[in-house]
Amino acid sequence: MKTRDRILLCALELFNEQGEPNVTTLDMANELDISPGNLYYHFKGKEALLEVLIDDFLLSTRNLLSPAENPEEVSPEDLWLLLHLLFESIATYRFLFQDLSNLMSRYPFIRQAMHAWLHQLRQCLAHILLVMRAAGQLRCAEEGLERLLDALCQTCLFWLDYQRIASGEQPDPAAGVQQTLGLLLPYLDESTEAWMQALIDRYS
């Protein structure tokens, strides 16, 4: 593995384990057993590392949140797959979500990137819910749909951090998927609710 890639992997692991504010470039150099100058040759400080890592996160979710090729054919299965893959990416880059407000206040490029990402997430989820409603699978008025979208987006943003604070254990992406799908249950028609509940139970 190239030194640059080793540095990125080390930074990601240390940020996830200790939180970005608690990790210095010297910590990374010591962990990798390289000189600080060698690290600086590849990345001119921690901000440069963060720029690459957030670009990697956005790339890992870009296809998930892109418009569907057949926008009228999305289904509850598509929503489940989206959430499953999305929470895996969030868990991989969980340092972003463990102290997101702080990171956004300190790094304008993170604030800009995450605002755009959240907007794209909301649009993607809204489209799936509207198609499900048109198919009779989702029973939700316009005002209720906005509140449901808020709840879904908030869960995607903050569930892993809630788990970490509540249990002190390594966050489980599957629990995030369960929680997010569970928010939909009161709004689903009978057959879709039964299917969704069975899916949630299988995660357990």
**Statement to judge: residues 164 and 182 lie in one domain:** yes
**Statement to judge: residues 154 and 85 lie in one domain:** yes
**Statement to judge: residues 66 and 167 lie in one domain:** yes
**In the chain, how many domains are there?**
2
Give tens-digit pLDDT for 58-99: 999 998 888 665 566 677 888 888 999 999 999 999 999 988
- With contact defined as beta carbons under 8 Å apart, do 121 and 65 qualify? yes
Give tens-digit pLDDT for 140-199: 888 889 999 999 999 999 998 888 888 877 778 888 999 999 999 999 999 999 999 998
Q: Give the domain CATH number at 151.
A: 1.10.357.10
Domain carrying residue 38: 1-44
**Statement to judge: residues 70 and 96 lie in one domain:** yes
- With contact defined as beta carbons under 8 Å apart, do 176 and 155 qualify? yes
**Statement to judge: residues 126 and 186 lie in one domain:** yes
For position 71, what pLDDT does the model report?
61
**Statement to judge: residues 73 and 35 lie in one domain:** no
- Tally helices (H) and strands (E) across the chain: 11, 0
Give tens-digit pLDDT for 108-152: 999 999 999 999 999 999 999 999 999 999 998 888 899 999 999
3-state helix, strand, coil in the chain (%, to 5): 80, 0, 20
